[in-house]
Structure formats: structure tokens, C-alpha cells
Chains A and B, each alone.
Chain A
Amino acid sequence: MRIHDHPILGPLPSVREVKLLFNGRPIMAREGEPIAAALVAAGVWESHCSRKAGEPRGPFCMIGRCTDCVMVVNGIPNVRTCITPVEEGMGVETQVGRGEMKHAEG
């Protein structure tokens, strides 16, 4: 789902395409767009699985408030994907519960 020609904002400007890895699967995205936007455009709505009930959750507020869109990004869990820009080669994984740190940050 992507709006290519917005009646007010006009046509989508062309930007570099980058590849992100969603659960190991390559997905093409627009450089700099929020990760959640790239995933929704690719038909992925589920970001994580809730901690207590184990229910699927997905982007809800899209403005960085609700934390329903959190995923494991480059090994770091609980990253709000609706406000985190896509970068080339980024690894994005569906989070389970509170998630696990894959490796220490740089």
C-alpha cells in the first residue's frame, strides 16, 4: 500500500531504492522512509507478538507513541519502526515478547 500520486502532495519523488532483510527475506524500500512504511508497502502488518497473550501486534499510532510497532532492528529489540528510517542492508525481525538483544551496539 503506497500512494504514488497524492492529490495535494503530488507525485512521489524518486529516491534511491534500498534493500532491507525482513526475517531474512529481502524487501525493497525507499531510502529514508520509516521501516513500518516499507513493511506495510510489502504487505507486512505484524511487528511483534505480545508478551502476555501472545497476540499479533502491528503499527497503531504511526507517530512513535504507542510502541506497538516495535521490532528487532539490526539485533536491537524494541525499536519503534514507525519512526526509524530504512537504511541499506538493515536487518528487521518480527519481535517475540520483549525481545532479546542479539549483540551489543557498536
Chain B
Amino acid sequence: MKTGGPEHAVGIPKSQPHAVIECPQEIPCDPCVEACPHGAIRKEGSIASIPVLDEELCQGCGECIPACPGLAIFLVDSCYSEDCALVGLPHEMLPMPVAGERVRLLDRCGREVGVGTVTEVRLRGAYDRTAVVYVAVPRGLEDVVRAVAVLPPDDHYVCRCEEVTRQMIERAVEDGATTVDAVKRLTRAGMGLCQGRTCRRLVSAIIAEKTGKPLEEILPATTRPPLRPLPLDVICRGDDEL
């Protein structure tokens, strides 16, 4: 994955907050163009072209951030304070962080890269429930941090079908279940209607986190047919057309 980076900020005085558009795909989409009150975002030619930011016109207001359905626009202020930069980012997850809260900083791949402090959360009616979270990050991380995570409460469901919480899975790992199958046997996570489609990756991630092993080393659950839910009578009839 491309890690983006400082090349986005070329030509912008370091002290000025500005939008960073990380939208590399040519798709027919242009809410960003409409959202900018200063006319700083353009599409040249077709609606499917990649948006272009006019760095002279951008005032760093952040109004374009919640408008992008792809969550591809950020705000960066490299000189927010002596040792911190500021990153504004779209946030569509619960729980919503609050100003002053310490949050985990995540990179473009969701890897934790540090801890930051939320300075402001903007959520206006026109934002259609996409909040803009402003977070002070250690200088040097402003081109790396692209999401924040509030530590999940232990009673969040991981397996929605069997109603198994994070805490129950962590306890199973502590009891020695270090493969997805073993966790399944102790908690039923993955044995519900959806057959693990929702939870299996989350369970692997929790095992990796708890055991300190890399994710690739966590043994996945055994997959058996049928691979999608079928009424039993289909199998009894032996229809070959599913």
C-alpha cells in the first residue's frame, strides 16, 4: 500500500493548515468540489477525474472532510504547536471521542503508531453524521496518522450471532485457546447463523494481540461446506442448482 506522505504538502507554507486529498481512484464522484466554500477543489475534465487541490485557495477550513463519502480527505497543520502537528480526520465509528480525550493513533493500514489528544470534534447537521475529529499528534506523524481509535469497551460484541463479547474471547485466550477453532469451542464465537463471517478475523486479531504473535501465525478456523446458508431441504433434494 502506498503510504502517501509529504509530497501532498508541496508548495504550502508549513505553518498553514491545509486539506490533504488522498483520492487515487478515477470514480464518478465530486461532493468534495461542491463542499469547498473557497473553490479550492476542482475536477479537471470529467467527473471521474482525480480531484485537484488549489493550494493557494485552500483556507484549511475542513469543510471538505465530512463531504467525501470515501473518507479520503484530511486536514494537516504541521506547526500546530512546538512539538505537535494537528490532523483533522473523518470519523464514523462509535464511541465518538470527545475533546481532551487521549486516543490511539492509527496509520493507513490500521496499525497503531502512537497516542494523541483530541482537540475538537465537529459534528454539524450538514455533515450527515460524519464527524471531523481534530487530533494533536507528535510532530512527524501528521502524514502517517489517518484514523483514531477509542479503546473498545470490553463488552462490545465480537461475534454478533452468538452474542460473544471481547471480554469473553480474551478470557478464552487466557485459558489457553490460541487458535480460532479453540476459541470457538470455548465460547461459540463463529458458530452462529453467519458461520463466522463477521467475527473470525476479529477473533484472530484478539488472539494475536493477547499472545503477542503476528497475525499470520494465528491458525484460522477450519472451513467446511456449505459455504453459504442453505435450507436443509435443498441438500435433501440434491438439487444441483443452488
**Pair from one complex:** yes
| B10-29 contact mask (Cβ, 8 Å, vs A): 1 or 0 | 00000000000000000011
Q: How far is the CB of B55 from chain A (nearest CB, A)?
A: 27
| Contacts of B147-201 to chain A: CB distance below 8 A | 160-163, 192-194, 197-198
Contact A65 B198 (CB under 8 A): yes
Cα separation A64 to B195 with both chains bound (whole Å): 12
Contact A60 B160 (CB under 8 A): yes
Q: Is B225 an interface residue (CB 8 A)?
A: no
Residues of chain A within 8 A (CB-CB) of B160 are 57, 60, 66, 68
Chain B: interface size category = 10 to 19
Residues of chain A within 8 A (CB-CB) of B231 are 76, 105
Tell me whether chain B's interface is mostly helix, strand or loop, or mixed. Answer: loop
Q: Is B125 an interface residue (CB 8 A)?
A: no
| B219-234 contact mask (Cβ, 8 Å, vs A): 1 or 0 | 0000000001101010
Contact B233 A67 (CB under 8 A): no
| Contacts of A44-68 to chain B: CB distance below 8 A | 50-53, 57, 60-61, 64-68
Chain A: residues with CB nearer than 8 A to chain B?
Answer: 8, 50-53, 57, 60-61, 64-68, 70, 76, 78, 80, 105
Chain B: residues with CB nearer than 8 A to chain A?
Answer: 28-29, 160-163, 192-194, 197-198, 228-229, 231, 233
Given contacts A8-B29, A76-B231, list 11 more A-B pairs with CB under 8 A: A8-B28, A52-B162, A61-B198, A65-B194, A65-B198, A66-B197, A66-B198, A67-B161, A67-B193, A67-B194, A70-B193
